[in-house]
Structure 1
Amino acid sequence: MPTVRKRKLPSGLIRWQASYVDGGGNRRAKLFERKGDAEAWLTETRHDLVRGLHTPSSVSPTIKDAAALWIKRSNEKGLEASTVKGYREHIDLHILPFIGAKKLSEISVPAVNAFADQLREAGRSADMISRVVQSLGAIFREARRRGLANTAPTEGLELDLPDRDDPRPVIPTKPELQAIIGKSEGRWRPVIITAIFCGLRASELRGLRWADVDFEARQINVTQRADASHRIGKLKSKAAYRSIPCSPLVINTLREWKLVCPKRDTGKKDANGEPVKVLDLAFPNGLGKVESHSNLHERGLDPILVAAGLTESMPVLDDAGKPIINNAGEPVMREVGKYGLHSLRHACASLWIESGYNPKQIQRLMGHSSIKVTFDVYGHLFADADADQKAAENVQARLLGG
């Protein structure tokens, strides 16, 4: 049975030993300086034992060890290299420096909140803190799967993260979009047109096949994506598998592009000894293979933005990533495009919302995993200014009359 007993250590110090039998029938004990602390800890431990939420400290791994198991599991599941790399960065840069030596059994809800406070004091943004805490939750889920933890201190946690940054995405204006379309030429034009009017992610554009372009139904079926390593694979969620209606401009542009689109060499020879090539990806590189994300931006979108006059000044960096300084002691500047490919996806969503699409339709077309994501990103675009103004006038009328 659980007990609290007074113990005299070989050093002569007096300590209070709280002991109990864990779920596996093993007796466990912990020493405290004060009897009250021992009793309080034992009461909490007994409560967790009844609920099946207790893991003895002696068998609980450290956050560092549990994080290594999570990364191992992520690799075994075949997650994209870029995804695992992001997880490693969360661990190495944000988790281990603060709580890496702590055991999982020491991490409670208050401890997670304290960890978030530490991150904020260290200058991490609210968005980064949220993502790091999500990774910490994934570490606990993997530990629970292995029987190394019984708690989930991040589940249902509401972090108090004040953030003054504007959460609304940067979206090109209609005149800017018109300028972008006007300056889009050659092999990049069909990519830009599809991005603006269909809202595909860059990875989905890079993985789009001609087999998924239904000219008769005038729609694009999103069924796969290309990762950062140029590998074709599954989409990130079930919701990402979707069909998107295409405007006449998209269909006509794709019809024209298909006639000259590079074909992929299969590595086989025909009866005449000529290479057998197939029309596979809709937006490949010159060899018919997966185009890189950097090429889409640096050789595709960025020159178009510069030609359209949609630029911003950025310092030129050296190989070490530091600004190059001129003889006057000032950084050398260059003009670069002010938007990324994801901004064109945001633009598509804004145009759909302006056309009257409701939130559920936007969620489906954008491939969001939940309606919460849709509202978090585009909620402000669903605002009805006329209705808001009328409500304000009604409030005044109710109070003052007239």
Structure 2
Amino acid sequence: MSHNGKSNIMLNFITQEGQTMATVRKRKWVHNGKEAEAWVVNYTDQAGKRRQKSFEKKKEADSYRVHVEGEIAQGVHVALNETVTFGAAAEAFIEECYRRHQLGDMTLSGVKGYEYRLQKYATPHFCNRRLSTITASDVQEFIDKQRLTFAAATVLGNYTAIHVLMTFAVRKRWLRRNILRDEPCKLPRKVKRSAIPDKQDIRALLEAASRLEKGENLLTFVNRLVVIACGVFGGFRPGETFGLQWEDIDWQKGIVNVRHSHTKVNGLKAPKTEAGWRRVPLTEPMRRALYQAARYWTIRAWAYGPGHRSESPKAMFSRIARAWDTLVIEVRPEDLKGFVVLTKVGKPMSATASATTFWHRLMKDAGLYDEEAKKCKFTPHALRHAAASLLIEHGLDDMNLKAFMGHASISTTKDIYGHLLPTDNRMVAATEVIAAELDATRERQISIRHPIH
């Protein structure tokens, strides 16, 4: 059994077709005067290439043999030396995402989202594992551990990032299939629908927003007026409010054209879908809020203009504060250009900035801050949901609501606001009428045939 210091014990495993797919053999050899041994799996992959892999224990070799034979039978086997580690695949995937962003196929926030989730959560867990060795059970174990620590939204986002990475690996031929597509993991339930402010909440919010506290920054005051008015009465997403330009407002026709969105990561960009481009009526509350913003920037231009003694920032802001209550000045909002909502240094704001500058304080003033949980009861995005609920309450049908909200499909509108839409009873009413008519006919027939005394 020995030859040149080596001895082999061969165990053949035969397929149903009678051909050897994989073999497990015990290999012994002498190295530097010491005897060593290992269990070797030899097999031929679906491309006809001979391969082998060694293990310390026969149990491990047998397990791998079964695994390999199953993959070869399905045509999805990838040898370890032809795949990459999870960490390497994640780096390549992020590079590809940045390239797609440069081509305009992905938003920067989308790229950053994948990058953060993979680097923060998935890569530390799977880093040095070869992609072809990761099973759906491994991913399920990762998801289950995540659910013990993180919110459902975080877990779902991390799972999505892994799923997309696996799809990318298939395109790169590092994998033959996406295991998560064939064997989906059990995931936490989707995040519950966010609470929608009711009329009482909206009234409290509007009242708190309209109060200009002594010593409060005027720019913060007018910015919050615009954000709330556009959200509640225009159904704007926060990013759409922060991307609103003065040129988008048609004061004569009473229309606001929604053409942009602004975020901290992506900057100013067009809506994701064609439906996002829409016209919103310039209601009176929106007109007043936007006029206040126009008045502020008109007064500020005057305060920064020539003819004043001091040009220090402190003097400028004091001058604006005094002029706000006393100065009579012509305001021509149609002549203004650029962003409506800006910081004190003239830069565009974002949803993140709004939370730190006025939202938390406003919610506390309105009595809508949960002191125990240390968080606001609503986010700025909830104002958009409030707008939809008010429109539904006043009879706006689902197709017009879809256009007003800028949804790409009616299914999106119904998925989000279907629980608020009134039940259409026309079908019920029609069937009841038919049933009543038929029942009446049947009663007459019965009464004729069998007179009731």
Alignment TM-score > 0.5, same fold: yes
Of 154, 158, 162 in structure 2, the residue corresponding to residue 132 of structure 1 is 158
Query: CA 1:191–1:128 in structure 2 vs 1: closer, same or farther (change >3 Å)?
Result: closer
Task: Show the counterpart of 1:8.
Answer: 26
Q: Percent identity?
A: 23
Q: Who is 1:341 aligned against?
A: 380
Give 1:21 shift.
Answer: 4.0
Match of 1:327 in 2: none
Give the aligned partner of residue 98 of structure 2.
Answer: 75
Aligned residue runs from structure 1 range 251-262, under 5 A? 252-253=287-288, 256-257=291-292, 259-260=294-295, 262=297
Q: Work out whether residues 278 and 406 of structure 2, in 8 Å CA contact, stay in contact via their aligned partners in 1.
A: no
Residue 103 of structure 1 corresponds to 130
Q: List runs of 5+ in structure 2 lacking aligned partners.
A: 1-18, 30-35, 211-220, 302-334, 430-453
- Report if aligned partners of 2:201, 2:368 keep a CA contact under 8 Å in 1: yes
2:370 — aligned with what?
312
| Structure 1 position 366, deviation (Å) | 3.5
Q: SS of 2:278's equivalent? A: strand
C-alpha contact (below 8 Å) 1:262/1:286 kept by paired residues:
no
Instruction: Tell me the residue number matched to 2:261.
Output: 225
8 Å CA contact retained: 1:205, 1:225: yes
Q: Which residues of 2 match residues 1-400 of structure 1 at below 5 A?
A: 3-10=21-28, 13=37, 15=39, 17-23=41-47, 26-31=49-54, 33=58, 37=63, 40-49=66-75, 53-78=76-101, 82-120=109-147, 122-155=148-181, 159-162=185-188, 167-185=192-210, 186-187=221-222, 188-215=224-251, 218-229=254-265, 231-235=267-271, 237-238=272-273, 241-246=276-281, 248-250=283-285, 252-253=287-288, 256-257=291-292, 259-260=294-295, 262=297, 279-313=337-371, 338-358=377-397, 361-368=400-407, 374-375=413-414, 377-382=416-421, 384=423
Matches of 2:42 and 2:265, distance apart in 1: 54
- Paired with 2:20 and 2:256, the residues of 1 have a C-alpha distance of 65
Q: Check conservation: 1:4, 1:38, Cα contact below 8 A.
A: no
Q: Could you report, residue by residue, the CA deviation over 1:154-212 in whole angstroms, capped at 9, with x for unpaired residues?
A: 3376543455x971212222022122223334513222111112222222211112233
| Residues 391 and 401, structure 2, Cα contact 8 Å, conserved in 1 | yes
Decide whether the 8 Å contact of 1:192 with 1:301 is kept in 2.
no
- Do the aligned partners of 2:247 and 2:336 also contact (CA within 8 Å) in 1? no
Letter of the 1:171 counterpart: I
Distance in 2 separating the partners of 1:129 and 1:181: 36
CA contact (8 A) 1:223 1:234 kept: yes
| TM superposition shift of 1:28 | 2.8
**Deviations 1:111-133 (CA, angstroms, capped at 9, x unpaired):** 4333322322x423332221111
* SS of residue matched to 1:9: strand
Q: Give the 3-state SS of the residue equivalent to 1:381 in structure 2.
A: coil
Q: How many residues align?
A: 352
Residue type of the alignment partner of 1:7: R
Asked if structure 2 preserves the Cα contact closer than 8 Å seen for 1:207 and 1:281, the reply is yes
The one-letter amino acid of 2:354's match is: L
TM-score (norm 2): 0.65
Residue deviations 1:30-60, cap 9 Å, x none?
Answer: 45736864653343232332xxx44322221
Q: CA RMSD in A?
A: 3.9
Counterpart residue number, 1:394: none
Distance 1:337 1:125, change over 3 A: closer
Instruction: Please tell me the residue identity of whatever aligns with 1:174.
Output: K
| C-alpha contact (below 8 Å) 1:230/1:290 kept by paired residues | no
* SS in structure 2 at match of 1:61: coil
Contact kept, 8 Å, 2:232 with 2:386, in 1: the verdict is: yes
